[in-house]
């Protein structure tokens, strides 16, 4: 087989990135700037033994990776959940608990997840396969994959809602005379064709980005969406704070009520927010980390920046929403309704309301869409690695499956709520436990730390990291799972809780059985494969 | 509405510990990458572990010679030592004395 290739120098970034084109092969290999050393050995890469080998794609720039991580972790929850959770749990006192847990648990956890992705250079099933070495154990990777697909199946309709509102903000619907926010929302959510249509457009949009791959797809989009999201939130914050009565919202959120620090519910709320809003254990950090080059840092960007940056955007959302909520006397605990009904009624009354509506709803759409990219990429990467499908085929298969499974959630908000309860309360802790257990209990934290985490790292991670990853995070996850069960007993959610627990137990069993039948045999028999990217 | 001193302190500390730290980390991360790339362009190679990190790795190799991951650990250790000997300017804070004391381990 003969392959023609050409080389071009890309000055889009300030680095001399090398694009290597293989016109006769499907994938275009795009090398990271760090990999120009690899490029020196191009001849060996291109044609050895008459066979073309394609290098795994890598992030084009550090900024692109950081924005992708941030975009994936910043979602709807940061904008409609964090402000109210903060205000409801003692304001500044909650923030103390939250920041403490964020640095103690979320940052080390994200370091572990990103590291195992970078080390194995694989998606979720491949990472489990490489580290655990047995076909059966790959079932845990399948669990993470299924939880992600399930989660995305009900998150995609929410992105569709955000897209609908962003579109109407551009059409200036919210500032039209006689606009009724409740009627507008009811008209939308009770129109199955419209909601399913937006769900379809969302999945088509995600597929349209993902099909271009990591660098030309995800990175190209997040590099401008996330900075614009931050600028938009800062702008809305300034507008909100300067409204008459806006500072009352700031006082509600930030005035500490230290008594809350003695309440267990405050710490549980802080734990949940610190773990789930940072996206720890969803497989996203593992997947995005698998596209890092050997020269890339993990702990500073994948751990510290992702967790702190994500929460910073949550804090910006506090400034963007609560001053407006208090200035207009809205109900601060309205959750998703706060955005789609309460906030929509504010804009007609604001000077320049049309513009502020565009800024607010388009930035909310960016937050949800970039999360959708991250969650869906977990499936795309895994499908493309574990099947014979090309990247395009994997994108179509993953997005098609998510679209199909998402139809009930798009059709019925009640179904969406039940899915959120089941997978948010039990599926995500299970996925997080699986990934953390992979690093902490199989790979081993000390081995992970000395071998890979501190390699090319921007900060040195000391031995304190080991017990946090090995004991603290798993105990916390088990506690959250147990607390979810305990707090549902005797409530209207009890039946759903039992269903959720049974479903997750069945998921582990079935996934294990399925992978022991269809999984790939590890190359060296039952022994774990050391792997690494050298 | 005037905010209390406590509210101001709470808000400013939150801003410092979250967006402040995030911005500082972002800048540091981007600058580190820029420096690493410049070194790679100039020297074709760069050291992959800091002195403390390489010392940890060496200790681990000594303590776990038969670990299944020991071969890759030794390879990475030696790779870093060879890089440090070959390059003029290390990325991490290595002194000439520290580099001179480094020895390769048997692979």
- pLDDT at position A333 is 65
pLDDT band at B10 (very low <50, low <70, confident <90, very high): confident
**Displacement of CA A273 from its chain's centroid (Å):** 14
Q: Which residues pair with A6 in a beta bridge?
A: A21
Phi-psi region of A243 (alpha: psi -120 to 50; beta: other; left: phi over 0): beta
Q: Return the closest-CA partner of residue A338 out of A94, A157, A165.
A: A165
Element (H, E) at A6: strand A6-10
Residues in B closer than 8 angstroms to A15, CB to CB, are: 37
Residues A146/A149/A152/A156 CA torsion (nearest 10 deg): -150
Per-residue pLDDT of chain A (534 residues; tens, 9 = 90+): 333 333 332 323 333 333 333 333 333 444 455 554 444 443 333 334 333 445 789 999 999 999 999 999 998 878 777 777 887 788 788 888 888 888 888 999 999 999 999 999 999 999 999 998 888 888 999 999 999 999 999 999 999 999 999 999 999 999 888 888 889 999 999 999 999 999 999 999 999 999 999 999 999 999 999 999 999 999 988 988 888 888 888 888 888 888 888 888 888 888 878 877 888 889 999 999 999 998 999 999 999 999 999 999 988 988 888 888 888 887 766 666 677 887 788 888 888 889 989 998 999 999 999 999 999 999 999 999 999 899 999 999 999 999 999 999 999 988 998 888 888 888 888 999 999 999 999 999 999 999 999 999 999 999 999 999 999 999 988 888 888 888 888 888 888 889 988 999 999 999 999 998 888 776 654 445 566 655
Q: What are the residues facing A10 on neighbouring strands?
A: A17
Instruction: Report the alpha-carbon distance of residue A320 to residue A311 in Å, rounded.
Output: 14
Cα(A457)–Cα(A296) distance, rounded to whole angstroms?
7
Q: Report residue A457 as tokens.
A: 């790292």
Instruction: Round to whole Å and give the CA distance between B60 and B48.
Output: 17
State residue A207 phi and psi, 5-degree precision.
-60, -40
ipTM here: 0.94
Do A255 and B10 lie within an 8 Å CB cutoff? yes
Confidence (pLDDT) at A340: 82
What does the buried/exposed string (b/e) look like for B9-43 if buried means 16 or more CB atoms within 10 Å of the residue's CB?
Answer: ebbebbbebbbebbeebbebbeebbeebbebbeeb
CA angle (A295, A301, A303) in 5-degree steps: 120
CA atoms within 13 A on the CB side of A273: 33
User: Which residues does chain B have within 8 Å of residue A530's beta carbon, measured at their own beta carbons?
Assistant: 68-69, 71-72
Q: Residue A167's Cα: distance from chain center in Å?
A: 23
Q: Count CB neighbours of A12 within 10 A.
A: 10
Provide the 3-class DSSP secondary structure of residue A56: coil
- The dihedrals phi and psi of A174, each to the nearest 5 degrees, come to -70, -15
Closest to A514 in 3D by CA, of A146, A19, A48: A146
User: How many whole angstroms separate alpha carbon B46 and alpha carbon B32?
Assistant: 12
DSSP output for A464-505: THHHIIIIIHHHHHHHHHHHHHHHHTTSTTHHHHHHHHHHHH
Query: Which of A33, A95, A447 is nearest residue B10 as measured by Cβ atoms?
Result: A95
* Cα–Cα distance for residue pair A418/A424, rounded to 1 Å: 10
Phi then psi dihedrals of residue B20, to 5 deg: -65, -50
Q: Report CA Rg, chain B.
A: 21
Q: How far apart are CA A330 and CA A358, in angstroms?
A: 20
For the residues B45-65, what does the mean pLDDT come to?
Answer: 96
pLDDT of residue A358: 93
B7, B41, B57 member nearest A451 (Cβ): B57
Chain A, 155 to 184: residues with Cβ < 8 Å from chain B are none
Nearest to A455 among B14, B44, B48 (CB): B48
Q: In this complex, is the C-beta atom of A92 within 8 Å of any C-beta atom belonging to chain B?
A: yes
Chain-chain contact of A305 with B22 (C-beta, under 8 angstroms): yes
Cβ–Cβ pairs < 8 A, chains A and B:
145
Which candidate from A62, A312, A451 shows the least CB-CB separation from B73? A451
Q: Which pLDDT score is estimated for A91?
A: 79
The pLDDT of residue A491 is: 84
pLDDT score, position A335 = 62
User: 50-89 in B: which are within 8 Å (CB) of A?
Assistant: 50, 52-53, 56-57, 59-60, 64, 67-69, 71-73, 75-76, 79
Dihedral sign (CA A481, A487, A493, A495): positive
Q: Report how far residue A418's alpha carbon sits from residue A498's, in angstroms, rounded to the nearest whole number.
A: 12
CB contact under 8 A, A455 and B10: no
3-state DSSP percent of chain A in helix, strand and coil, to 5: 75, 5, 25
3-state SS, one letter per residue, for A370-421? HHHHHHHHHHHHHHHHHCCCCHHHHHHHHHHHHHHHHHHHHHCHHHHHHHHH
Q: Domains of chain A, with CATH numbers?
A: 1-55 (no CATH), 56-518 (1.20.1740.10)
Question: Under a CB-based contact definition with an 8 Å cutoff, are residues A368 and A75 in contact?
Answer: yes
When the pLDDT of each residue in chain B is averaged and rounded to a whole number, the result is 93
DSSP-based three-state secondary structure for A8:
strand
pLDDT at res. A86: 80
pLDDT 10s digits, B65-104: 999 999 999 999 999 999 999 999 999 999 999 999 999 9
* Residue A29: per-residue pLDDT: 42
List, as ranges, residues 41-60 from A with C-beta within 8 Å of B.
Answer: none
In this structure, what token pair is assigned to residue A295?
């020269």
């Amino acid at each position: 087989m003969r392959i023609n290739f050409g080389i071009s120098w890309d000055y889009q970034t300030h680095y001399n990135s090398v694009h290597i084109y293989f016109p006769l092969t499907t994938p275009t290999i795009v090398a990271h700037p760090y990999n120009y050393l690899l490029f020196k050995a191009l001849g060996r890469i291109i044609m050895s033994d008459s066979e073309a080998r394609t290098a795994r794609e890598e992030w084009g720039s550090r900024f692109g990776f950081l924005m992708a991580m941030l975009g994936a972790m910043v979602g709807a929850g940061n904008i409609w959940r964090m402000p109210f959770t903060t205000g409801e749990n003692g304001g500044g006192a909650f923030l103390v608990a939250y920041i403490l847990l964020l640095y103690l648990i979320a940052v080390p956890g994200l370091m572990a997840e990103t590291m195992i992705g970078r080390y194995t250079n694989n998606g979720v099933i491949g990472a489990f396969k490489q580290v655990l070495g047995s076909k059966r154990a790959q079932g845990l990777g399948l669990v993470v994959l299924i939880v992600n697909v399930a989660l995305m199946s009900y998150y995609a309709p929410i992105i569709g809602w955000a897209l609908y509102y962003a579109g109407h903000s551009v059409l200036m619907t919210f500032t039209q005379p006689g606009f009724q926010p409740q009627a507008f929302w009811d008209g939308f959510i009770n129109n199955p064709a419209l909601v399913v249509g937006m769900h379809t457009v969302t999945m088509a949009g995600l597929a349209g980005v993902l099909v271009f791959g990591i660098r030309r797809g995800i990175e190209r989009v997040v590099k401008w969406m996330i900075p614009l999201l931050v600028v938009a939130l800062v702008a809305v914050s300034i507008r909100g704070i300067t409204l008459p009565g806006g500072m009352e919202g700031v006082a509600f959120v930030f005035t500490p009520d230290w008594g809350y620090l003695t309440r267990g519910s405050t710490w549980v709320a802080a734990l949940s927010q610190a773990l789930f809003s940072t996206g720890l254990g969803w497989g996203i950090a593992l997947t995005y980390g698998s596209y890092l080059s050997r020269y890339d840092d993990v702990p500073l960007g994948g751990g510290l920046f992702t967790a702190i940056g994500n929460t910073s955007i949550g804090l910006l959302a506090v400034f963007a929403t609560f001053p407006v909520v208090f200035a207009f006397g809205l109900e601060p605990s309205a959750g998703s309704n706060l955005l789609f009904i309460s906030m929509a009624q504010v804009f007609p009354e604001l000077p320049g309301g049309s513009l502020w509506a565009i800024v607010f709803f388009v930035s909310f759409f960016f937050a949800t869409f970039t999360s959708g990219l991250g969650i869906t990429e977990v499936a795309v990467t895994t499908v493309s690695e574990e099947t014979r499908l090309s990247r395009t085929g994997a994108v179509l298969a993953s997005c098609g499956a998510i679209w199909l499974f998402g139809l009930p959630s798009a059709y019925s908000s009640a179904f969406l709520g039940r899915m959120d309860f089941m997978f948010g309360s039990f599926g995500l802790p299970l996925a997080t436990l699986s990934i953390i257990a992979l690093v902490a209990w199989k790979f081993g934290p000390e081995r992970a730390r000395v071998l890979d985490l501190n390699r090319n790292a921007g900060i040195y991670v000391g031995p304190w990291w080991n017990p946090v990853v090995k004991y603290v995070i798993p105990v916390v996850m088990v506690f959250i799972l147990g607390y979810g069960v305990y707090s549902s007993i005797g409530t209207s959610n009890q039946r759903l809780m039992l269903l959720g627990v049974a479903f997750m137990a069945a998921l582990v069993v079935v996934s294990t059985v399925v992978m022991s039948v269809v999984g790939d045999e590890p190359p060296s028999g039952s022994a774990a494969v050391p792997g690494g990217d050298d | 509405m005037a905010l209390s001193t406590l509210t101001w302190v709470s808000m400013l500390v939150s801003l410092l510990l979250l967006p402040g730290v995030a911005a500082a980390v972002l800048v540091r991360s981007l600058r580190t990458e820029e420096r690493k790339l410049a070194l790679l362009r100039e020297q074709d190679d760069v050291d992959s572990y800091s002195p403390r990190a390489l010392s940890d790795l060496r200790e681990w190799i000594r303590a776990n010679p038969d670990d299944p991951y020991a071969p890759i650990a030794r390879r990475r250790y030696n790779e870093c030592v060879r890089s440090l000997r070959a390059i003029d300017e290390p990325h991490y804070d290595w002194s000439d004395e520290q580099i001179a004391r480094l020895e390769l381990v048997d692979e």
